[in-house]
Structure 1
Amino acid sequence: MTIAMHPNPSKVDQLLRIAAREELLPRFARGFSQASRQMKLDGSLLTEADLAMNARLREELARYWPDIGFLSEEAPMEEQRDLLRAPPPLFWCLDPLDGTSNFAAGLPFFAVSLALIEEGRSILGVIHDPIRNESFVAAKGQGTTCNGKRLILEAANIPLESSIALVNFKHLDAQLALRLMQFPPYGSQRNYGASALEWAWLAAGRGHIALHGGQWIWDVAAGSLIFTEAGGVCTTLDGGEFLNLTLDPCSVIAARDDALFMAWRDWLG
């Protein structure tokens, strides 16, 4: 598939906006009963909203771009494994509802995240936040926008100890988590419970640094592109690239500029 045949980012954004408005917002407004929830094998929550969004977007993406493969967090595990064992040159990577636990609890922190991956690299990323009606869109080499406005991260010019950190302790090494709690190197810490939103908000300058001990491919594929195209810096804790075509989670360390990234990485060791 040539560059000219790649999906138009605005069209992809439109599909996500409409689907989220019609599938997610009505369900969020009326709340959930216990019967509408179930637990997956990995212990995470699954709701009818996840499944409805997944089914709708899978159908619509296939209708418009039938030759592009499809990987989703909510696909059967064997289907996920089969695709990643022999990945097509171009495929979608979808998290139909990131922040499911927030969604089910009535907390307004969730999003839909979609990336287009070509030859193992994200070339298009869209994260839509239906509560705030914000769409973060990035195409490789073309920068990042929020609702059409260009996002450019400038140097924060602050020391690490003045930074706002987005840190998820759940998957961190116990010793590192304890050190962070006892001797926090940042000014304050947040965890919104939705990886996609955190990537997008970092790209918008709503935070300075981030750390996560375990994100899956659908957690990072769109968000990391959106963040780096805005000017942010990110790697794994050991300095490697984290978009690997496997079902293994990876660590994430991120900062809005080089100086903060180096200070954050040095503190983490």
Structure 2
Amino acid sequence: MTAEPNHIARLLRDTAATAILPNWQGIAARHKSDGSFVTESDPAAQRHLTEALAHDFPGIPLLGEEMTRAEQERMLRNADSALWVVDPLDGTSNYAAGFPAFSISLALIEGGRPVLGAILDPVRDECFVAARGRGAWLNDRPIRPFAPSRSIRDCLAMVDLKRLPPELLQAVTRHTCFGSQRYLGSVALEWCWLAAGRFQLYLHGGQKLWDYAAGRLIADEAGAAALHLIPDSLEPGTEITLEPRLAIAAANAELLRAWSDCLELAVDVG
């Protein structure tokens, strides 16, 4: 069976209805060894989606957030052939607190790069999908980024302050070059909202592969401009890896250049 966006969207909706929404606003969370939150819904959603994908697409392994590091490294060796990458519940802190911003994120990686991505916001029943070279959609409607003007001073910025390197955090707070700042708390949804034109500037200091594999593809296919950098060196990091990446993006290349200049980043944005 060929993986098509609409089929993947149905699998995500079924997973949300079965393993995520029934427990929302009434579930306890605990800390994992890395300090992040996890609930019973996280592994339940991963199990449900793993079983569905194994049934419909036998032979394609899956790398999930709720795996050990050793298991993830073993799965990543298939990135040059075919590999599913899933975050079964992106925004677990929001989910446990009752804040309505969380998602399921699924990407298919082939040849060392994402070729298909789907992200479901189960609260709003919004499913964002993209296929490499074919564009991006929200519930079957094509999406594009939006910018109110050519100036970043008119733009809304989505900025995660917590994970930024000190020098970049200082640049953000020193230069008030954007219109206003928000933070959603679900990396996957943040990429989708950029793609759909709901904000114009993006900065996040530490994204894992399962956070961005689908979302970055959706933003790219919609027409946004984005870079992933190695946090310590702020050098471009393009390979598929388990190491975190710093993300900087904007609604278009012109705004990305202005955003990079504002943040004093010496990077080539094209």
Q: TM-score, normalised by structure 1?
A: 0.92
Q: Aligned residues, how many?
A: 260
Give 2:69's aligned residue. Answer: 77
Give 1:12's aligned residue. Answer: 8
Deviations 1:236-259 (A, max 9, x none): 2446244x3222101100001111
Give 2:165's aligned residue. Answer: 173
- 2:22 paired residue among 22, 26, 46: 26
Deviations 1:168-208 (A, max 9, x none): 01111113213312322111001111101101111110000
Instruction: Classify the secondary structure of the residue corresponding to 1:137.
Output: strand
Give 1:102's aligned residue. Answer: 94
Give 1:258's aligned residue. Answer: 253
Give 2:236's aligned residue. Answer: 240
Aligned Cα root-mean-square deviation (Å): 1.5
Residues 117 and 131, structure 2, Cα contact 8 Å, conserved in 1: yes
Distance (Å, rounded) in 1 between the aligned partners of 2:8 and 2:235: 32
Amino acid of the residue matched to residue 187 of structure 1? G
Instruction: Classify the secondary structure of the residue corresponding to 2:128.
Output: strand
Give 1:219's aligned residue. Answer: 211
Matches within 5 A, 1:131-146: 131-146=123-138
Q: What percentage of aligned pairs have identical amino acids?
A: 44
Instruction: Classify the secondary structure of the residue corresponding to 1:153.
Output: coil
Gapped regions of structure 1 (runs ≥ 5):
none
More helix by share: 1
Gapped regions of structure 2 (runs ≥ 5):
266-270
Distance (Å, rounded) in 1 between the aligned partners of 2:78 and 2:52: 24
Change (3 A) 1:239 1:175: closer
Residues 146 and 196, structure 2, Cα contact 8 Å, conserved in 1: no
Residues 156 and 257, structure 1, Cα contact 8 Å, conserved in 2: no
Give 1:183's aligned residue. Answer: 175
Residues 147 and 155, structure 2, Cα contact 8 Å, conserved in 1: no
Residues 145 and 151, structure 1, Cα contact 8 Å, conserved in 2: yes
